[in-house]
Structure 1
């Protein structure tokens, strides 16, 4: 993988989601990975667990140049919890549209919540860990039966 794309690290934890969305808009996995520490970990929405900047860059680069090539990723609600002067947890609800289905048709809009664990370095904040969770409105859990499907146990 090529060296990380130069990108200015956010100066405040609350700026991290916008920096992530800006890197996404570049359609460059290395730009996303540049926001992460060299040994960072990232768990994607399907539970794939990547360790290291190169491992984070490769699948993002593939997706951003294929089925996410026409997507728009917009940060929504952001919460920040400082864990001292050098660490913070940032949660952001992201809204995405423009994904392509395997048959090439446009898929519907999605929402996810990304959790970033940040560490402050000399030049700004970097993620040391991230986890992405799909938002499934009205659902309570997943049910494994002939595949995995979102499920609600409430009636009415």
Structure 2
């Protein structure tokens, strides 16, 4: 599993570097041609072109000059060539955010789930689903095993 997760962690590092550079093309390089994308405000698209276009937009506006760090919370290899990667992202150094995006003082925190598929050319992102962690919900305890609030 280490070889598999090493490749996945390298992909996450490449995403962070591309974000830091504001390079939408590099950020989208690991996307499959038919990536399914849901962003933090619920916009939905299918395909690398709209995925790249959305990142070009945010890198040239409110995320210009920002840094994104991904903290791996779980990597689930559901098959040898399919992994579900859950990260907690921390974005800093952003400009004025759209009203629908609520940050934690000077840091935007999101939960990002990516479904990765492995081919001859390495790991690729087939699905990218990102949600903002609202400051009021961040401290809430998760439900217990029976689904009731703890």
TM category (shorter chain) comes to 0.7 to 0.9
* Structure number with higher helix proportion: 2
Q: CA RMSD in A?
A: 2.1
Q: For this pair of structures, how many residues does the alignment match?
A: 128
CA drift of 1:19 comes to 2.1
Is residue 76 of structure 1 aligned with residue 62 of structure 2?
Answer: no
Q: Is the 8 A contact 2:111 2:133 kept in 1?
A: yes
Counterpart-to-counterpart distance in 1, 2:79 and 2:120? 16
> 1:95-134 CA distances to partner (integer Å, 9 max, x unpaired)?
11111116xxxx7211111100000011110000010011
Aligned to 2:102: none
- Cα separation, partners in 2 of 1:94 and 1:110, compared to 1, 3 Å: same
What is the aligned counterpart of 2:94 among 99, 102, 109?
99
Aligned to 1:50: 45
Aligned to 2:17: 22
Structure 1 segment 117-128 matched on structure 2, within 5 A: 117-128=115-126
Is residue 115 of structure 1 aligned with residue 110 of structure 2?
Answer: no
Aligned to 2:129: 131
CA drift of 1:15 comes to 3.2
Aligned to 1:66: 61
CA drift of 1:83 comes to 1.0
Counterpart-to-counterpart distance in 2, 1:12 and 1:77? 13
Aligned to 2:101: none
Q: Tell me which moved more, 18-27 or 91-100.
A: 18-27
Q: Which runs of 5+ in 2 are unaligned?
A: 98-104, 139-148
Q: Which runs of 5+ in 1 are unaligned?
A: 1-9, 141-153
Q: Is the 8 A contact 2:72 2:85 kept in 1?
A: no
